Structure 1
Amino acid sequence: MRVLLVGDIVGKPGRNAFTKVAAQMKSEGRVDFIIANGENAAAGRGPTPEMANALIGAGADVVTLGDHAWDAKEMVAGIDLEERIIRPANFPKGSPGKGFVRVDTPEGPLTVVQLVGRVFMQPSYDCPFQTVDRMLKGMLSSDKAIFVDFHGEASSERMAMGRFLDGRVSAVFGTHTHCQTSDETVFDNGTAYITDLGMTGPKDSVLGREVEPVLAKFLTGVPHKFEVAKGKPTLEGALVDVDMKTGKAEAIERIRIEV
């Protein structure tokens, strides 16, 4: 099975790029399953349930969120209405929604898990390593094809997670920093890995935002409003080929598509 992993979707340009590319790749049979990170889909902030559902309607089989999951107050209640919208599994106890989902496919079930890092992030998050370890030894012990979105700031933390889960899951892919890395690989024990998928959004920008206000903030220290940039968007991510019977990854390919 070929799985498309889509880096952080930013604002309307990112949503438009995803809609165009996802629909085309699915209709042409180039991908079988799509996992998209939608945590910046609403003008660079967390999406409403309607917006996340629109990404599913556009071709995403699972939409992952991240540290901006609750930016839209409607998502607090709305996340439970669609099981294919997930938030990090190591959010504090009592958080709405859930951190993983199993989706039936013609080749068997595919499980998507999301975690959030703690380095340079909120200290209230539970340990992502211990959280996923418990899941793999418990509720996911019989699952074969498992894809893990590790939403984190520090490259070292994401790399450590990839090594920690090598041979235990099909793929570990980083999101959050919006900068695509070139370290895609399949580890020795069969886990595909990339530190960051990149960003799906306006190419001429600073992490999806207009350049001038960001520069002004760095130069003067004075707060500025960071609007989502306009212009030509790019979809960044990766393609992973997985053996659904064994859960082992066979290949990973980094992609960048200008729309």
Structure 2
Amino acid sequence: MRFAFFGDVVGRSGRDGLTEHLPGLRRRLGLEFVIVNAENAAAGFGITESTARELFDAGADCLTLGNHSWDQKEALTYIVREPRLIRPLNYPVLSDAPGRGAQLFETEAGRRVLVINLLGRVYMDPLDDPFGAVDRELEACPLGAVADAIVVDMHAEVSSEKMAMGHFCDGRASLVVGTHTHVPTADAQILPGGTAYQTDAGACADYDSVIGNQKEEPLRRFTTRISGGRFKPAEGPATVCGVFVETDPATGLARRVEPIRVGGRLSAHVPEVETARAL
């Protein structure tokens, strides 16, 4: 099976980048399933029904969120109606957070893909333990028995917490990938137990920016320690960043992982694959 995960979509630029490039990538790479982190899709903060619809229309099968899940208040009701929108799994039970933190999808070919969204705790919102939450989900829906592929989006600030999650899920998930820091890391690998891993998928955003935002306000705050206004998404052409994974059909574990980068300012990289059949 071939699938791809794309990092944080930032504003109009990121949405336009996916609309331009994702249909072609699906055809070229023979992608059976596509996951997109969309927590910054609406003007850089949160998601709305209309921005989600743009990403679904572009070819996303599932959207994950993060610490900006509820920045747009309509997301609180939209997520109840839209099962393809996934918020972090590890909200406290008493928070009564709407929606779901994990969802099992079925592809057109009849394969089942479990998508799990987690929020890290180091320098992030103090949610419940993401390791305990994902452990329960993986026990309830094991790879190879219930799910043909499992993707874990670890939305976290520090690389060590993301890497720890990768090793914690090794052998039980097809892919563990980090989001939130918006910069693609150069460590795409298959862990010893067979799980594909990358510390951060990067962002779908204009990289002539500060992590997808127009440069002036972040620079002002760093140099003067005084806020001059809100962060605004950069508006130049986006680089679409993500991760391509090919799994073993018998086990659901990864046998190939490569970064994806197309458009914009970063050096382009698209995996070379045989397009005659999707595994």
TM-score in terms of structure 1 length: 0.96
How far 1:32 sits from its partner (Å)?
2.1
Secondary structure at the counterpart of residue 205 of structure 2? strand
Secondary structure at the counterpart of residue 174 of structure 1? strand
Which residue number corresponds to residue 17 of structure 1? 17
| Structure 2 residue 121 is matched with structure 1 residue 114 | no
Unmatched 5+ stretches in structure 1: none
Deviation string 1:99-119 (CA, Å, 9 cap, x unpaired) is: 111111205111111111001
User: Out of 209, 218, 223, which is 1:205 matched to?
Assistant: 209
Written as runs of structure 1 = structure 2, the 5 A alignment for 1:221-240 is 221-224=225-228, 225-240=230-245
Which letter maps to 1:229?
A: A
Written as runs of structure 1 = structure 2, the 5 A alignment for 1:171-182 is 171-182=175-186
Secondary structure at the counterpart of residue 193 of structure 1? strand
How far 1:54 sits from its partner (Å)?
2.2
Deviation string 1:171-196 (CA, Å, 9 cap, x unpaired) is: 10000000111011001111000000
Which letter maps to 2:115?
A: V
Written as runs of structure 1 = structure 2, the 5 A alignment for 1:247-258 is 247-258=252-263
| Structure 2 residue 45 is matched with structure 1 residue 45 | yes
CA distance, structure 1, for counterparts of residue 123 and residue 255 of structure 2: 33
* Count of residues paired in the alignment: 258
Identity of aligned residues (%): 44
Checking the alignment, whether the CA contact within 8 Å between 1:191 and 1:249 is kept in structure 2 is yes
RMSD: 1.4
How far 1:27 sits from its partner (Å)?
3.9
Checking the alignment, whether the CA contact within 8 Å between 1:200 and 1:233 is kept in structure 2 is yes
| Structure 2 residue 219 is matched with structure 1 residue 215 | yes
Secondary structure at the counterpart of residue 14 of structure 1? helix
Checking the alignment, whether the CA contact within 8 Å between 1:108 and 1:244 is kept in structure 2 is no
User: Out of 143, 150, 154, which is 1:146 matched to?
Assistant: 150
Q: 1:61 to 1:15 in 2, by over 3 A?
A: same
Unmatched 5+ stretches in structure 2: 265-279
Which residue number corresponds to residue 100 of structure 2? 98
Checking the alignment, whether the CA contact within 8 Å between 2:142 and 2:172 is kept in structure 1 is no
